[in-house]
Homo-oligomer: A and B are copies of this chain.
Amino acid sequence: MTDERDGQPRVPVVGMVGAGQLARMTAQAAISLGVGFRVLADTAADSAARVCADVQVGDYTALPDLLDFAKGCDVVTFDHEHVPGQHLAELERAVAVRPGPGALRYTQDKLAMRGRLTQLGVPCPRYQPVSDLAGVSAFAADAGWPVVLKAVSGGYDGRGVWMCETPDEAAEVLAHGVAVFAEEHIDYDRELAVLAARSPHGQAAVYPVVQTVQRDGICHEVLAPAPRLRARQALQAQRLVLEIAAELEVTGLLAVELFETPRGLLLVNELAMRPHNSGHWTIEGARTSQFEQHLRAVLDLPLGTPGAVAPQVVMANVFGGSDPHVYERYLHVMAADPGVKLHLYGKGVRPGRKIGHVTALGDDVDELRARAGRAARYLATGED
């Protein structure tokens, strides 16, 4: 808690490990709530480090840096899931860590996640730990090709998921020596995501189910709510996520990515326990943004209303192009569409790098996709 001087209210300090755009947008929410907010940044040029008053530059893989960062924090939370598990356990002796190591384990070890969800009866793709090509082939004999190989933790070349069409392709992945497991390839209709928040005292709140539109495994658009989703399915997905949050004792946000199959089955793909790209639409589109909700949850404050404030919201990510002059393009984008909400993260522009997002709110999903998509594309490339 901060000092009380000259009538200055004591407020808790939330420390966020990582200073990317998630921390940057959490900082905005912390300003409204008037709570202290500190980030542990890799460099002073990080997205959140550029805008926060309280920045520590350090190494999140080094326990001394983490412990030093935690001093003066009331709660430590995360903008990524890469803090080593053994450090989390040590950190928890010094400060409240939310989500805790017991929950975070399931975002760091995907095999453990699959095991735990299966144990809970949560519908997931079939999976099998494999150590060699024979194991992959045995799995494929049952589940069929292609087979998805997933790194248990981390990966290589910046990837952790490989779609293998043939045994040769699987052998190539295995040759890297990274621990993997095999997963059934789901021929899904679309991908959905559900975001919930849970407090240490057990209160939970769940956002409307959204559709995520991915290209090459990267989220490009989020449609909130997911169009044409039957109410029964939406409720089922929300209940599932609340159940996972409770069973895994998540504190803070839990984002669950789902496959919707042609037969209407919902299967869990991935989990994250932090603000999530699929929730950026909540900044303008929900009564309580995911960033405010995360702060309320980790501070054990009562949660805010998660409901949407418009019939339809569409968020489109902005990816860097070859030209870094993004700001100059505001002139055109703002003039063309004065109602679209623009977010730039203050990041260096590199081709394919996520540097911002755009949100459009209204009634018609097709019109909003056109508006948000046009603005995002123009910001990225300068092409209409």
Query: Using a CB–CB distance below 8 Å, which chain A residues touch chain B?
Result: 4-12, 24-25, 27-28, 30-35, 37, 45, 49-53, 55, 205, 287-288, 296, 301-305, 309-310, 320, 324-327, 330-331, 334-335, 338-339, 341-350, 356, 361
* Nearest chain B residue, comparing its CB with the CB of A309: B309
**CB < 8 Å: which of B24, B32, B330 contacts A301?**
B330
Task: Determine if B8 and A324 form an interchain contact, defined as CB atoms under 8 angstroms apart.
Answer: yes
Number of copies: 2
Contacts of A303 in B (CB 8 A): 334, 338
Contact A7 B310 (CB under 8 A): no
23 A–B pairs (Cβ distance < 8 Å), ordered by A: A5-B348, A6-B45, A7-B324, A8-B349, A9-B325, A9-B349, A11-B344, A25-B31, A30-B51, A32-B342, A32-B343, A33-B342, A34-B326, A34-B345, A34-B356, A35-B327, A52-B53, A53-B53, A287-B339, A287-B361, A303-B334, A309-B309, A309-B361
Let me know if B348 and A8 touch, CB within 8 A. Answer: yes
Q: Is the CB of B24 within 8 A of A28?
A: no
- B7 and A350 within 8 A (CB): yes
Known: A5-B348, A11-B327, A32-B343. 10 other contacts (CB 8 A): A8-B45, A9-B324, A9-B349, A10-B327, A27-B31, A37-B51, A49-B53, A50-B53, A302-B335, A309-B310
Cα A35 to Cα B31 with chains together (Å): 17
Within 8 Å CB of A8, what residues of B? 45, 324, 347-349
- Cross-chain contact B28 with A31 (CB below 8 angstroms): yes
Closest chain B residue to A336, Cβ basis: B302
Q: How far is the CB of A120 from chain B (nearest CB, A)?
A: 28
B-chain residues with CB within 8 Å of residue A53 when the two chains form the complex: 49-53, 55
> Given A302-B334, A330-B301, A334-B304, are A31 and B51 also a contact pair (CB < 8 Å)?
yes
Docked CA distance A12–B6 (Å): 36
Question: Within the complex, what minimum Cβ distance (angstroms) separates A192 from chain B?
Answer: 25
Contact A34-B334, Cβ < 8 Å, known A9-B327, A310-B309, A350-B7: no
